Amino acid sequence: MSGHVGFESLPDQLVNRSIQQGFCFNILCVGETGIGKSTLIDTLFNTNFEDHESSHFYPHVRLKAQTYELHESNVRLKLTIVNTVGFGDQINKEERYVYQPVVDYIDAQFEAYLQEELKIKRSLFNYHDSRIHVCLYFISPTGHSLKTLDLLTMKTLDSKVNIIPVIAKADAISKAELQKFKIKLMSELVSNGVQIYQFPTDDETIAKINASMNGHLPFAVVGSMDEVKVGNKMVKARQYPWGVVQVENENHCDFVKLREMLICTNMEDLREQTHTRHYELYRRCKLEEMGFTDVGPENKPLSLQETYEAKRHEFYGERQRKEEEMKQMFVQRVKEKEAILKEAERELQAKFEHLKRVHQEERMKLEEKRRLLEEEIITFSKKKATSEIYQNQSYMASGSNLKKDKDRKK
């Protein structure tokens, strides 16, 4: 080609559009209560985010998300911090109480984005992307080895989010112990098949520094918003009786390395990896569960419409089959109910006949007793009448005798 066309300005147009639209970045902080998650985030972004202290007495883990609007020069960043409240505090270490809520939250953000993509009228340009771009996993500075809970959690999350392990409160152990601790942690992660985020080395401009930083994982960090005077300048540091630990001094901790890798160098790669790797894996698995495929039975390409129609016919046939099964089941249950009712009716009829016979027998007995009673009454009446006759005769006899005695006396 000869002459100037002008499409060389496309990168500038893309930059201007991106600046105008703004950026979003979502960080998931996983670690025990009190390990320093909020302090490190405040130090990373040089901002005092409002965050209340969490209790150790929650029955299960809950996730708390807070979104902030940050400005630096003419760049706007919508930052979302997701904190795991109560993580590791439960006595019951079952997955549904500890790390399952974290998995459910990550999947819920993927599902929300997928539902927005599947809408007929999409608004992805204005959609607030809440998918987690990076997980800062905070490890206690024990100096020994990873806890079983840490290994299980990272192993569960590594296919869903970019994990960057950090050793929190790294000033709690000596440099020699810290170096041994780092080597042991990386060995345990590799032996257990935990895939942590590796800084990309495919871009020549940052390949060297990223390759170097991959060798420093996990980062040993110290966070503090307190300023201490060291020499002639004020620096962020932690003041101890034995000395000062400077947060931004690379001889004291890896805070600067973490900030450089996370924010300055690889933030866009973290966002891209979230979309092209983790979200695509979730999307593919979800669509395959729904029955969508790219090829048919004969390995021929299938369009979305063809897949939809095939699945629609399959669902229709399945519905018809289930309806027929339900009808047959209904008829069978009706027959069973009729048989039960008929049996109950036979039992009632037999009971009625039995009661009828008992009643008839009782009635006959009563009739017999009545007949006997009537006979006794008749006999008694006859005896009474005879007794009255005898009584009258004796009375009359006694009266005539009395008259004769009177006549004799005269």
Task: Collapse the DSSP code of 84 into the 3-class scheme (helix H, G, I; strand E, B; otherwise coil) and give the result.
Answer: strand
pLDDT band of residue 19 (cuts 50, 70, 90) is: confident
User: In the block, which residue shows the tokens 């979800």?
Assistant: 286
CA distances for 364 relative to 240, 351, 353, 367, 373, angstroms: 111, 20, 16, 5, 14
Which range has the top average pLDDT, 90-94, 154-158, 307-311?
154-158
Q: Is the pLDDT of residue 4 over 80?
A: no
pLDDT digits (tens, 9 = 90+) for 226-261: 888 887 888 888 888 888 888 888 888 888 999 999
When pLDDT is averaged across residues 374-391 and rounded to a whole number, the result is 90
Query: How is residue 201 written in tokens?
Result: 């080395």
Cα-trace Rg, the chain: 48
**Residues 318, 323, 326, 330, Cα dihedral to 10°:** -170
**Phi and psi dihedrals of 79, rounded to 5?**
-100, 130
Is there a contact between 26 and 98 (Cβ–Cβ < 8 Å)? no
Band of the pLDDT at 396, cuts 50, 70, 90? confident
d(CA 350, CA 343): 11
pLDDT of amino acid 56: 58
Whether 81 and 41 have beta carbons less than 8 Å apart is answered as yes
Specify the higher pLDDT residue, 305 or 230. 230
Average pLDDT, whole number, for the chain?
A: 85
pLDDT tens profile 124-152: 777 888 999 999 999 988 878 888 888 98
Contacts of 296 (CB under 8 A, 6+ apart): 302, 306
**Predicted local distance difference test score (pLDDT) of residue 331:** 93
Burial class (CB in 10 A: 0-12, 13-18, 19+), 288: exposed
Lowest-confidence region among 21-30, 153-162, 241-250, 363-372: 241-250
Least confident range of 95-99, 144-148, 193-197: 95-99
| pLDDT value of residue 189 | 92
What pLDDT, on a 0 to 100 scale, did the predictor assign at position 239?
Answer: 85
Strands (E), 73-157: 75-85, 134-139
| Cα 401 from Cα 391, distance rounded (Å) | 16
- Classified as helix, coil or strand, 44 is helix
**pLDDT-based confidence at 314, cuts 50/70/90?**
confident
Amino acid identity of 182? K
Token pair belonging to 353: 């006949």
Share of the chain above pLDDT 70, in %: 90
* Residue spans per domain, the chain: 14-290, 299-380
Instruction: Give the residue among 178, 105, 165, 107 at the shortest CA–CA distance from 139.
Output: 165
What is each CA distance from 2 to 5, 9, 11, 12, 367, in whole angstroms?
9, 17, 21, 22, 133
CATH architecture of the domain 14-290 equals 3-Layer(aba) Sandwich (3.40)
Q: What is the pLDDT of residue 325?
A: 92
- Whether residue 110 has pLDDT greater than 70: yes
Query: 57 pLDDT exceeds 70?
Result: no
User: What pLDDT is attached to residue 124?
Assistant: 75
Q: Is the pLDDT of residue 394 over 90?
A: no
Looking up tokens 């170097």 gives: 212
Q: How confident is the model at residue 122 (pLDDT cuts 50, 70, 90)?
A: confident
pLDDT of residue 3: 64
Stretch 184-193: mean pLDDT: 91
If one compares 347 and 312, the residue with the highest pLDDT of the two is 347
Is the pLDDT score of 295 beyond 70? no
pLDDT at 91 (0 to 100): 56
Q: What is the pLDDT of residues 265-279, one digit of tens each?
A: 899 999 999 999 999
Does residue 88 carry a pLDDT above 80? Answer: no
Residue 389's pLDDT band, with cuts at 50, 70 and 90, is confident
Is the pLDDT at 98 greater than 80, yes or no?
A: no
Strand partners, 241: none
Q: Cα angle at 284 between 280 and 290, to 5 degrees?
A: 145
Instruction: Please compute the mean of the pLDDT values over residues 322-341 and round it to a whole number.
Output: 93
- Which residue has tokens 């009661």? 355
